[in-house]
């Protein structure tokens, strides 16, 4: 019969309490303070990063909402245009079948009035849009100003934008001031030299008011 072995007892040694020198204690205290400072700095950076992330998320959400509103508005405008197109198509068919001249003329005049009203509304909308853009950016668009006098163009009158034969645009007043009379016994005429490309343009009797108006400069 095997003899029972006695269980071996493991002696647990107790580590003696460390005794640090004054210099070591000072070093430990400095390390603890540095750890506390690093932890505070890390928390500050983390909070700032979270705040920036929230701002970016809010901005993205706002942009998405604005894009959706703009998209919905465009869809509504497209639907309206399709409806108007169908109505105009039906009226054109009606005009082709119509034999009464007076009735046809009345309908044509009514459509012309509608087109004129639509044009006025479009110009008003463009004017409001330009005003909002100029208010937002706090400056007038350069193409809406005469390059010589820097005055803003107007639809009519002395500051209306006139296109020269070379393609450059200036206000009527500045063009009139640049008109020169060339005396010639056979063919006396007036000329204007473009201040941009220095090309000459000749005009009958010096009347620059007959030059075409640059509507693009007014409505952009």
The pLDDT tens digits of the residues spanning 132-169 come to 666 666 666 767 888 888 888 888 889 999 999 899 99
Residues of the chain with pLDDT > 90, as a percent, come to 7
pLDDT band at 82 (very low <50, low <70, confident <90, very high): confident
Residue 163's DSSP bridge partners are 169
Closest to 171 (Cα-Cα) out of 156, 181, 189, 190: 156
Per-residue model confidence (pLDDT) at position 171: 92
Q: Does residue 83 sit in helix, strand or coil? A: helix
CATH no., domain 143-219: 3.30.40.10
- Predicted confidence (pLDDT) at residue 205 exceeds the cutoff of 70: yes
Lowest mean pLDDT among 51-65, 78-92, 121-135: 121-135
Per-residue model confidence (pLDDT) at position 115: 81
Per-residue model confidence (pLDDT) at position 5: 53
The span from the CA of 131 to the CA of 63, in Å, is 22
Mean pLDDT computed over 172-192: 76
Q: Does residue 150 sit in helix, strand or coil? A: coil
- Residues in Cβ contact with 67 at an 8 Å cutoff, skipping those fewer than 6 apart: none
First to last CA, the chain: 113
The span from the CA of 210 to the CA of 176, in Å, is 12
- Predicted confidence (pLDDT) at residue 38 exceeds the cutoff of 70: yes
- Predicted confidence (pLDDT) at residue 50 exceeds the cutoff of 80: yes
pLDDT band at 186 (very low <50, low <70, confident <90, very high): low
pLDDT band at 172 (very low <50, low <70, confident <90, very high): very high
Per-domain residue ranges of the chain: 97-139, 143-219
């Amino acid at each position: 019969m095997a003899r029972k072995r006695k269980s071996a007892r493991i002696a647990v040694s107790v580590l003696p309490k460390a005794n640090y020198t004054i210099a070591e204690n000072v070093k430990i205290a400095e390390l603890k303070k540095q750890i506390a400072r690093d932890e505070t700095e890390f928390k500050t950076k983390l909070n700032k990063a979270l705040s920036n992330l929230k701002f970016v998320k809010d901005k993205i959400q706002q942009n998405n909402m604005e894009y959706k509103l703009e998209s919905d508005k465009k869809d509504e405008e497209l639907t309206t245009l399709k409806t108007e197109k169908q109505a105009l198509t039906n009226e054109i068919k009606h005009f082709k079948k119509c034999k009464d001249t007076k009735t046809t003329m009345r309908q044509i005049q009514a459509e012309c009035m509608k087109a004129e009203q639509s044009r006025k509304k479009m110009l008003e909308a463009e004017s409001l849009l330009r005003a909002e853009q100029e208010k937002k950016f706090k400056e007038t668009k350069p193409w809406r100003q005469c390059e010589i006098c820097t005055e803003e163009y107007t639809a009519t009158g002395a500051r209306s934008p006139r296109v020269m034969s070379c393609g450059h645009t200036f206000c009527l007043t500045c063009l009139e001031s640049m008109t020169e009379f060339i005396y010639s016994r056979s063919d006396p005429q007036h000329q204007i030299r473009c201040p941009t490309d220095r090309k000459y343009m000749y005009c009958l009797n010096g009347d620059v008011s007959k030059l075409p108006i640059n509507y693009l400069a007014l409505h952009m």
